[in-house]
Structure 1
Amino acid sequence: MAKVSETEGLAPRAIGDEAGDKSEGSGEGVRLKKELGVMNGVAIIVGVIVGSGIFVSPSMTLRETGSKGMALIVWVLSGLVSMIGALCYAELGTMIPKSGGDYAYIGEAFGPLPAFLYLWAALFVLVPTGNAVTALILAENILQPLWSPCKPAREAVCLIAAVVTCFVTAINCYNVKWVTKVQDSFTAAKILALLVIFFASIGYMFEHDTEKLQSMMEGTVTKPGNIAVAFYFGLFSYSGWNYLNFVTEELKDPHKNLPRAILISMPMVTLVYTLTNVALFAVLDSGDIMASDAVAVIFGQKILSFMSWIMPVFVALCTFGSLNGAIYASSRLFFVGARNGHLPLAISLIDMKRLTPVPSLIFMCLVTLVLLVFSDVEKLIVYVSAVEAIFTLSSIAGLLWMRYSRPKLMRPIRVNLILPIVYLIACTFLVVFSCVREPVGVGIGIAFIGAGVPVYVLFILWKNKPEWMQSACNSFTIACAKMFLSLPEDSKDL
Structure 2
Amino acid sequence: MSAAPPPTGGFVRRLGLFQATAINMSQMCGIGPFVTIPLMVAAFGGPQAVIGFIAGALLALADGLIWAELGASMPGSGGSYVYLRQAFQYRTGRLMPFLFVWTAMLFIPLIMSTGVVGFVQYLGYLAPGLGQGGGDLVGLGVIALVVLLLWRGIEHIAKITAVMWVVMIAAVALVIVAAFTHFDAGLAFDYPEGAFSFTGTAFWTGFAAGLTIGIYDYLGYNTTAYMGAEIKDPGRTLPRSIVFSILGIMAIYLLLQVGTLGVVDWHRMLDPDDIASTSVASAVLEETWGEGAANVVTVLILVTAFASVFAGLLGGSRVPYDAARDRVFFRPFGKLHPRHGFPVLGLATMGVVTAGGFLIGRHTDLATLIQLLTTVMVLVQALAQIAAVTVLRRRRPDMKRPYRMWLYPLPSVVALAGWVVIYGYADRNAPGRHPIEWSLAWVALGCAAFFLWARREKVWPFGPREIREDHTADPESEPVPVSP
CA deviations on 1:321-358 (whole Å, 9 max, x unpaired) are: 11110011000112112222232221221111111212
Instruction: Kindly indicate whether the alpha-carbon contact (under 8 Å) linking 1:34 and 1:250 is maintained by their aligned counterparts in 2.
Output: yes
Question: Structure 1 pair 162/460, CA: closer, same or farther in 2 (3 Å)?
Answer: farther
Match of 1:334 among 312, 320, 328: 320
- For residues 301 and 446 of structure 1, the distance between their equivalents in structure 2, rounded to whole angstroms, comes to 45
Report matched runs for 1:34-45 at 5 Å. 34-45=13-24
- For residues 156 and 70 of structure 2, the distance between their equivalents in structure 1, rounded to whole angstroms, comes to 29
Report matched runs for 1:122-161 at 5 Å. 122-124=104-106, 126-147=107-128, 152-161=130-139
Structure 2 counterpart of 1:486: none
- For residues 67 and 287 of structure 1, the distance between their equivalents in structure 2, rounded to whole angstroms, comes to 8
Which segment drifts farther, 78-87 or 138-147?
138-147
Structure 2 counterpart of 1:403: 393
Report matched runs for 1:434-473 at 5 Å. 434-438=426-430, 440-463=434-457
Instruction: Kindly indicate whether the alpha-carbon contact (under 8 Å) linking 2:174 and 2:297 is maintained by their aligned counterparts in 1.
Output: no
CA RMSD of superposed structures (Å): 2.2
Match of 1:55 among 20, 26, 34: 34
Scaled by the length of structure 1, the TM-score of the pair is 0.84
Instruction: Kindly indicate whether the alpha-carbon contact (under 8 Å) linking 1:383 and 1:441 is maintained by their aligned counterparts in 2.
Output: yes
Report matched runs for 1:101-112 at 5 Å. 101-111=79-89, 112=94
- For residues 269 and 366 of structure 1, the distance between their equivalents in structure 2, rounded to whole angstroms, comes to 29
- For residues 97 and 327 of structure 1, the distance between their equivalents in structure 2, rounded to whole angstroms, comes to 19
Structure 1 counterpart of 2:279: 294
Structure 2 counterpart of 1:99: 77
Note the C-alpha offset of 1:240.
Answer: 0.8
Note the C-alpha offset of 1:433.
Answer: 2.5
- For residues 107 and 463 of structure 1, the distance between their equivalents in structure 2, rounded to whole angstroms, comes to 17
- For residues 90 and 105 of structure 1, the distance between their equivalents in structure 2, rounded to whole angstroms, comes to 11
Structure 2 counterpart of 1:165: 143
Structure 1 counterpart of 2:357: 371
**Are positions 1:269 and 2:244 aligned together?**
no
Give the letter aligned to residue 82 of structure 2. A
Report matched runs for 1:294-443 at 5 Å. 294-305=279-290, 306-374=292-360, 375=362, 376-390=365-379, 391-415=381-405, 416=407, 417-438=409-430, 440-443=434-437
Give the letter aligned to residue 88 of structure 2. F
Give the letter aligned to residue 299 of structure 1. V
Structure 2 counterpart of 1:282: 262
Which segment drifts farther, 163-172 or 439-448?
439-448
**SS in structure 1 of the partner of residue 127 of structure 2:** helix
Note the C-alpha offset of 1:81.
Answer: 1.3
Question: Structure 1 pair 104/464, CA: closer, same or farther in 2 (3 Å)?
Answer: closer
- For residues 293 and 203 of structure 2, the distance between their equivalents in structure 1, rounded to whole angstroms, comes to 41
Question: Structure 1 pair 405/435, CA: closer, same or farther in 2 (3 Å)?
Answer: farther
**Are positions 1:65 and 2:65 aligned together?**
no
Structure 2 counterpart of 1:472: none
Instruction: Kindly indicate whether the alpha-carbon contact (under 8 Å) linking 1:64 and 1:226 is maintained by their aligned counterparts in 2.
Output: yes
- For residues 397 and 252 of structure 1, the distance between their equivalents in structure 2, rounded to whole angstroms, comes to 28
Note the C-alpha offset of 1:449.
Answer: 1.5
Note the C-alpha offset of 1:217.
Answer: 5.6
Instruction: Kindly indicate whether the alpha-carbon contact (under 8 Å) linking 1:236 and 1:381 is maintained by their aligned counterparts in 2.
Output: yes
Instruction: Kindly indicate whether the alpha-carbon contact (under 8 Å) linking 1:193 and 1:314 is maintained by their aligned counterparts in 2.
Output: yes
Instruction: Kindly indicate whether the alpha-carbon contact (under 8 Å) linking 1:93 and 1:101 is maintained by their aligned counterparts in 2.
Output: yes
- For residues 373 and 293 of structure 2, the distance between their equivalents in structure 1, rounded to whole angstroms, comes to 35
- For residues 414 and 253 of structure 1, the distance between their equivalents in structure 2, rounded to whole angstroms, comes to 16
**SS in structure 2 of the partner of residue 309 of structure 1:** helix
Note the C-alpha offset of 1:214.
Answer: 3.2
Match of 1:118 among 100, 107, 113: 100
Instruction: Kindly indicate whether the alpha-carbon contact (under 8 Å) linking 1:179 and 1:324 is maintained by their aligned counterparts in 2.
Output: no
Match of 1:252 among 227, 232, 253: 232
- For residues 165 and 18 of structure 2, the distance between their equivalents in structure 1, rounded to whole angstroms, comes to 11
**SS in structure 2 of the partner of residue 355 of structure 1:** coil
**SS in structure 2 of the partner of residue 283 of structure 1:** coil
- For residues 95 and 235 of structure 2, the distance between their equivalents in structure 1, rounded to whole angstroms, comes to 28
- For residues 402 and 310 of structure 2, the distance between their equivalents in structure 1, rounded to whole angstroms, comes to 30
Instruction: Kindly indicate whether the alpha-carbon contact (under 8 Å) linking 1:102 and 1:392 is maintained by their aligned counterparts in 2.
Output: no
Give the letter aligned to residue 306 of structure 2. F
Which segment drifts farther, 371-380 or 84-93?
371-380
- For residues 13 and 76 of structure 2, the distance between their equivalents in structure 1, rounded to whole angstroms, comes to 12
Instruction: Kindly indicate whether the alpha-carbon contact (under 8 Å) linking 2:368 and 2:430 is maintained by their aligned counterparts in 1.
Output: no
- For residues 251 and 153 of structure 2, the distance between their equivalents in structure 1, rounded to whole angstroms, comes to 32
CA deviations on 1:137-193 (whole Å, 9 max, x unpaired) are: 112211333217xxx522222211111111111111123222111111111211121
Give the letter aligned to residue 423 of structure 2. V
- For residues 382 and 53 of structure 1, the distance between their equivalents in structure 2, rounded to whole angstroms, comes to 14
Instruction: Kindly indicate whether the alpha-carbon contact (under 8 Å) linking 1:17 and 1:249 is maintained by their aligned counterparts in 2.
Output: no
**SS in structure 2 of the partner of residue 412 of structure 1:** coil
- For residues 221 and 399 of structure 2, the distance between their equivalents in structure 1, rounded to whole angstroms, comes to 24
CA deviations on 1:360-419 (whole Å, 9 max, x unpaired) are: 211211122222221222211111112222221210121122222222222222222211
Q: Which runs of 5+ in 2 are unaligned?
A: 272-276, 460-474, 477-484
Instruction: Kindly indicate whether the alpha-carbon contact (under 8 Å) linking 1:67 and 1:219 is maintained by their aligned counterparts in 2.
Output: no
Question: Structure 1 pair 257/342, CA: closer, same or farther in 2 (3 Å)?
Answer: same
Instruction: Kindly indicate whether the alpha-carbon contact (under 8 Å) linking 1:66 and 1:219 is maintained by their aligned counterparts in 2.
Output: no
